[in-house]
Amino acid sequence: MDSSSFFGSTFLILQESLLTFFKFYNLLITLRLTMTWFPNFNPFVQPFYLLARLTDPYLRLFRGLVPAIFGIDFSPVIAILWIQCLIEIINELSVDQIL
C-alpha cells in the first residue's frame, strides 16, 4: 500500500467521522430547540437534562452574538446554521483536492 492511498483512506475515514458527529450534534440541538416549545416538560429529568448538558456549552458560544428579538433567542438557529456550514465545507473537501 503506497502512502497516497493510505492517506486517502485515512482522510475518508476522518471525513465521514466528522460528518457523522456534526450531523448527530445538529440533531441534538434540534431536539433541544424543539423541547423548548413545550412548556410542560421538566428539563431537569433524564434524558432532557443530559441533552441540555451536551448542548449548552456549544449554544453558549452563540448566546451573546444576537440579542433576543421580541423575547425570542435566535442563538440556537445560528448554532445550527454554523454546523450546517461546517458540514457543507467537509462535504466539499475531497481526497483529490488534498493530494
Look up cell 475531497; give the residue: 94
* 47 φ/ψ angles, rounded to the nearest 5 degrees: -90, 0
Task: Give the span between the Cα atoms of 23 and 74, in whole angstroms.
Answer: 20
pTM score above 0.85: no
Residue-by-residue pLDDT tens, the chain, 99 positions? 565 677 778 888 898 999 999 999 999 999 998 888 888 878 788 888 999 999 999 999 988 787 778 878 888 889 999 999 999 998 888 655 555
For 55-65, letters b (16+ CB in 10 Å) and e give beebbeebbee
